[in-house]
Structure 1
């Protein structure tokens, strides 16, 4: 089939955008292959003189060995024709895009430009005539299809063309592409990530691409987004792989959670690159997952960097290991990587005088973190001799370094190490022994006055843990140290409650309450009044709620309770009366504020105060003898009923004298009996036992037992005690006190109390269980009750509780 020149020219023009069609030269008939009827790209002439497309004639000949010779003249003519027409198409495209034309026309132009981009010659021409800025301007159009086609045209234009990439960076194309990565439309997102991938293939442009705000984070998001299109995920991954060539980009990737490039360079890279990666890693604020991943992959390499002599490498490795050790799941990984011997050497042995950093402080911090992770120190070996962090060697050296008054940061970590060791029984004994031997207590007390809150708080916490073993030593040291214990009192004055204030109050509670020297020193510095003011502020809601408020409140209450252990001292007794501690503890034991520990402490305080009531209760004033009339000396003096009632009201039925809550600390007058009985039902065994201990003071030999039993029986104490025995059979201390109370009721409580006790069906089995399974004191108490109930033969036995 043959085509005329006119027909072929028309068919060619129809395939081009309409704005350019009128300028295009017509196609000549000789341009067309007689076999394919299409314009030839590589015309060849066969032996007969016919010119055809090379591929077509080869296919036609198939395996026939025919020699083909190129028609160079025709080929050159065709190339020149194509060049002239492509130049015209580029110019027409620029003219069209410069004008406000319809969307369809612009799309046709963009399609033609995409075809033209197959030739590097056309790319150069397009850049020279200024098409790049025009294409970038199209990225701001409202039409999404237009934006996508413009982005695709730009991608093809810069493909394997460095000058085009440079020119595109002078426009807003890259910023727009990054912004479009978060588009909801798949086509726009794909076009943008494809454009960025093409840009990233130029190594010299990688840093500029990474500097675009949000570029790398968005690519990371696309790569790890399971809902993204597979091609988008693949292209985002390829772009990130290209951007890894720039170390700055690797740092940005690590900051945004993509750590593998950094770790790959840190582990396998050359020395200078490893140094750079270590410096980047040192500055990162790592999340918990990142810490675990780095510990798993690079802990061994970091330890080797630390052992090197390079100061910068050591610093980077130490700071990174410090971060890793702060995450508990990473600690076991670090220990398995043999970190402990290196840290022990850094702390106790190694010293580099010209090194700008103090490696000992960081190594102590790392060791403290490892201990705080909860790993048994007996399993943490620090040298080839098999010594562990719970060994005498390690603990003694730690105490020695504290005694030498090292820098604040190092001392804080050393104290933290001892705090953690106190959590383990065997290590606890060795730590107490080492602290005593090194006389470290006074150094710890000196830390209480330092300006570093962390060191001060750590010292307080360690002293709290040491107080059960050497409480009097600590108390004496406080009284002899400059600025103490008034420094602790000042901490109680703070309006903003922090961990330091909480620990200061707790320390005052944990130290021996009977230490008179400390109590008097606290009293002289206003400790009691400050504690009361703090309690009242919290009750009124004047302090901001923090996680430390509860512990601080408990410490304030405990500080006042400690004074009740030394009421034999006149100054302490005067303070207790002035501050009306009985009224305060009665209010707190009723649950007015605080929690379980506050109620327990308040009950303990009421017990101590009540033991002084019998001694402080005043005898009734003697009645004045009225003058007898002359004419009636034998007539008896008759008092009116109201006068008799007033005289009876003045006498306490328990203490046989005149009582009041503030002056004699009488529980009956203070109304404390009922809230104490209510505490018998408390879920906390310690609260119930402390409340019963306070009630026991009303049945003690120093008071009128019959009167105390009557007061308690009237408020249902017998039923409360029997109920406690039934429901709390596993709590030995509470059972022992319950037995003692029942024995007192049976002895002096009257027939009604006796009947109530004898009528309890479960009591006999509880008592027999105590006789057969309890210790000697429990067995003796149970036998006394059984004898008084006539359950076993009566033998004269007295029990002293």
Structure 2
């Protein structure tokens, strides 16, 4: 794009000004060709711009006189050309989903810009210029067309947008609906429906919303957050691991036995637990259907008290309904957990009963289907398809159809179970009811692109489907035909099959007795480009053994060919782990240590291959049997010692090797062994390296070793010079990951006063402040930098050192911390809340107390506004008051975070407002901020420490009668749960609060 040119009307001729604007518009037109969204509208807009630029270019060739009218026209054109440039750049560079959801706003901007340019052209005094009739008519026609220009969203776009608006307004969190809309959005904007693509696009979409917040465009940000909240229900947005973690956190906090309903849950008329409780004017609550029937029978009195009612109005009892729903959800979850073992019973009657109960739960709510998946029911259900009892198989197929219907994850999970597809296909050949269910299930599964290949590879399946397509059952025939269409393999399958046929003779030659042929085939494997699937298949089909034989050959040239081939195949984690299992590590290490015999380039290739193996160990699942690259301290010592004896390329590979193993499931032991070998001393020296790649990897490994290290070891190796070097890296490096690691080291340093003084003297506070306020921190490593900076800041805000606190407050950090409560990651929010809590602990002592004067009652001066908590004059800078900093609302919002650490940090900060004698005024402030209800919800947290703090806080809050009356009811259910499931101390605390609420006596056995 052309850079902005400041044009002074006094010195730049009109013709030159027009030429410059025309040039700017032409470049915008050129950029518009690369825009991939709103193509029709952008094309139309670009056409108008191009015609405008041509007109301006034509006018610039004339000898024009300066006039006020021309000046106004040119100024408007300059302004609007910049706006057009910015709009086109946004449409070119911003996230596709964000642009799609903002298409109406984009269209409005296109229309405004077009009309403004039209207005500017109309200001040009065409009549007074020596123009041909053709040019004058062209300008007039262009002005008219642009003035009436309209841009429209496509019909499909309009429909999708209306559906999204409807879903967000209805607060409809239906997963299948979210899946459907997300698919249509992907189709509309042209992105892949692969989960990795969805996750990438969705992450970028979230970043755009963070940018909107930074621009203070809160209307847009709130609207987009509502859309995110809805779309996050889709399978492709949240990974299975994320949903699984959330589920097990909830599940593990519930216990094993269902809870009995409280007496208040029962309807006094029906004596059943209520579904839709409503309150009548007597204050009593009944099931809606029951009380409506009572009134319909002619009664106008309360069924319980028999008191005549002034009106028959029914008010929904939402708090009680929510308690009942929570109780029912809790018991349903426990039921789902307990049903799984019964499905493996040898008693067919027991299995059928459990299947029937499970099916009822799955039909009842979509949430129950997700819970069943999380409990890993699918392999158990697949096993039941081999049962002899036809009824068991039919019930199982029904349940699998329910699970597969609207869940891509479940489709894949079903297909992954050994012999699952074969068992389902076998049911195609059985009686009609079972066959139709199997056909429906296969049809649903075939809609997943990865599953249909597996179905198609079962030879008997095609025959059975052809038979089904000729059946008399119209629906079954239709399903069979659709399934056959889905199994028509695409070109990619043909390509993969061709590759597989090509590799078979290659593998045969690699294993032949002719050494020259084997070397040639190994060389071929080192040079050809392979997909990850090809690489795994080659190892699976036998390529590894002959390559390992060549690796141990006496001839170095043969070794080199083997190393090159192994390096090419080892960057797939599955292959890397197999290489370690088959004993490749020993020969590779031996070659790396023989520096006198090998060329530097070959040693670099060996080091890079070892790095691939290390990365494969980091990809292991923690629960599986671990494959270790470095099994002993001797292995670690020998490899790490090479860092000081080799060139930059090998240093880089070795450092990345240790970085990978330090992120593997056995990372704790590796890090401890490295610290014992004084690795920190070497890494501190490498932080002085001129080679930025080596230094960057050293800093990252250094950070990794400080995460859970011994403070004395850190104090031994980290001095003032090292701290100054780390801070210099933060301010000068171009590698965001290195900056994040250096800040991570700073945050992990011991809270030693001398280290803190070194940091202050080196300007760490100002650097941390810059990192916290840096624009664009929503990028992945910017987030990590902000997280680490927020953690590093906490050391300077200890309440024990008021001078340090004042120094931090003076640079304006408190408002930044408040902003991070809203825009930061979970960890950033947690550390920001910790810092605000430490600030708040000093507020009472720092508030400026107001002395009451006995004459003040008749003085004319305005009353002094006092802080409602600290009862003095508070400011952010002088008393660090979190109320004055507007931190209350975001802290209350944080109480709803999924992470217990963030919730606890937020609760700690809020509870500083009701410490000691400030109970009444602090509780009032928290109530006005709607904080009490979220605090009560924390009683159900899986975190024991958070539960305990919540109990202690509520015990104090409920000392005040008004809060006990207002919030006591909503706390009853979780308090009862803790008295039944909690530890000894927690049960006693919960019982104490229940006694305050008059639900237990002081003589209860809980005390």
Q: Is the 8 A contact 2:975 2:994 kept in 1?
A: yes
Tell me how far apart the structure 2 counterparts of residues 477 and 733 of structure 1 sit (CA, whole Å): 34
Residues 685, 518 of structure 1: alpha-carbon distance in 2 compared, 3 angstrom cutoff: same
1:394 has 2:639 as partner: no
Shift of 1:746: 2.5
Contact 1:392–1:430 (8 Å) recurs in 2: no
Report if aligned partners of 1:472, 1:515 keep a CA contact under 8 Å in 2. Answer: no
Contact (CA 8 Å) 1:586, 1:670: kept in 2 or not?
yes
**Pair 1:641–1:707, CA change in 2 (3 A):** farther
Q: Could you tell me whether the CA contact under 8 Å between 1:390 and 1:421 is conserved in 2?
A: no
Could you list the per-position Cα deviations for residues 282-314 of structure 1 after superposition, in whole angstroms to 9, with x for gaps in the alignment?
A: 455544244334434432222222222322222
- Give the corresponding residue for 1:489: 727
CA distance, structure 2, for counterparts of residue 618 and residue 690 of structure 1: 27
Separation in 2 of the partners of 1:546 and 1:583? Answer: 22
Shift of 1:742: 0.9
Q: How does 1:595-606 map to 2 (within 5 A)?
A: 595-606=825-836
- The alpha carbon displacement at 1:620 in A equals 3.8
Helix, strand or coil for the counterpart of 2:863?
Answer: helix
Structure 2 residue aligned with 1:577, among 809, 820, 838? 809
* 361-370 vs 711-720, which moves further: 361-370
Please tell me whether residue 431 in structure 1 is matched to residue 676 in structure 2.
no
1:771–1:780 contact (8 Å) kept in structure 2: yes
Q: Which one of the candidate residues 850, 854, 858 is aligned to 1:640?
A: 858
Structure 2 CA distance for partners of 1:518 and 1:257, relative to 1, 3 Å: farther
Give 2:305's aligned residue: none
Q: How does 1:316-331 map to 2 (within 5 A)?
A: 316-331=561-576
Out of 441, 444, 458, the position equivalent to 2:683 is 444
Match of 1:784 in 2: 992
The residue that corresponds to 1:711 in the other structure is 925
Contact 1:479 1:521 in 2 (8 A): no
Shift, 1:695, TM fit: 0.3
1:462 to 2:701 alignment: yes
1:622-658 deviation digits (Å, cap 9, x = unpaired): 96xxxxxxxxxxxx74633654722xx2x43323443
1:606 Cα deviation after fit: 1.1
Partners of 2:803 and 2:523 lie apart in 1 by: 63
Unaligned runs of 5+ in 2: 1-490
Provide Cα deviations, 1:339-363, integer angstroms capped at 9, x if missing partner. Answer: 233234435xx52623323766544
CA contact (8 A) 2:680 2:717 kept: no
CA distance in 2 between counterparts of 1:328 and 1:394 reads 21
Answering whether residue 848 of structure 2 is matched by residue 615 of structure 1, we say no
CA distance in structure 1 between the partners assigned to 2:511 and 2:824 by the alignment: 55
Pair 610,225 (structure 1): closer, same or farther in 2 beyond 3 Å: closer
Preserved CA contact (<8 Å) 1:677 1:717: yes
Q: CA deviation at 1:694?
A: 0.8
Question: 2:841 and 2:949 mapped to 1: Cα distance?
Answer: 16
Q: Is the 8 A contact 2:889 2:929 kept in 1?
A: yes
* Structure 1 partner of 2:963: 753
- Secondary structure, aligned partner of 2:868: coil
- Partner of 1:704, secondary structure, is helix
Partner-residue secondary structure (3-state), 1:318: helix
Distance 1:669 1:471 in 2: 39
Computed over aligned residues only, the root mean square deviation of the Cα atoms, in angstroms, reads 3.9
Distance 1:621 1:310, change over 3 A: farther
Deviation, 1:381, is 7.9
Q: Pick closer, same or farther for the CA change 1:643–1:472 going to 2, 3 Å.
A: farther
The 5 Å alignment of 1:345-744 reads 345-347=590-592, 351=594, 353-357=596-600, 362-373=605-616, 374-375=619-620, 389-401=630-642, 406-423=646-663, 427-470=666-709, 472-473=711-712, 475-476=714-715, 479-480=718-719, 482=721, 484-493=722-731, 498-512=736-750, 514-538=751-775, 541=776, 546-564=779-797, 566=798, 568-569=800-801, 572-589=804-821, 591=822, 593-620=823-850, 637=855, 639-640=857-858, 643=861, 645-646=863-864, 649=865, 651-701=866-916, 704-725=918-939, 728-744=940-956
Pair 1:584–1:260, CA change in 2 (3 A): same
Equivalent residue of 1:585, what SS? helix
Q: CA deviation at 1:442?
A: 1.7
Once the two structures are superposed, residues 575-617 of structure 1 have per-residue CA deviations (whole angstroms, 9 ceiling, x without a partner) of 212122222212221x2x3333332222222112112222333
Output one character per residue of 1:17-55: Cα deviation in whole Å (capped at 9) or x when no partner.
xxxxxxxxxxxxxxxxxxxxxxxxxxxxxxxxxxxxxxx
Inter-partner Cα distance in structure 2 for 1:684 and 1:375: 25
Shift of residue 397, structure 1, vs aligned partner: 4.1
Within 2, Cα distance between the matches of 1:478 and 1:569? 26
Counterparts in 2 of 1:64-79, with a 5 A limit? none
> Is the 8 Å Cα contact of residues 523 and 561 (structure 2) preserved in structure 1?
yes
Return the offset for 1:446: 2.4
Question: Pairwise mapping of residues 72-87 of structure 1 onto structure 2 (< 5 A)?
Answer: none
1:471 CA displacement? 5.3
1:698 CA displacement: 1.1
Distance 1:316 1:719 in 2: 68
Q: CA deviation at 1:787?
A: 3.6
- CA 1:258 to 1:572, structure 2 compared with 1: closer, same or farther past 3 Å? farther
Aligned residue in 1 for 2:313: none
- Structure 1: state its 5+ residue gaps: 1-223, 229-236, 238-253, 383-387, 624-635
1:527 to 1:278, Cα distance in 2 relative to 1, 3 A:
same
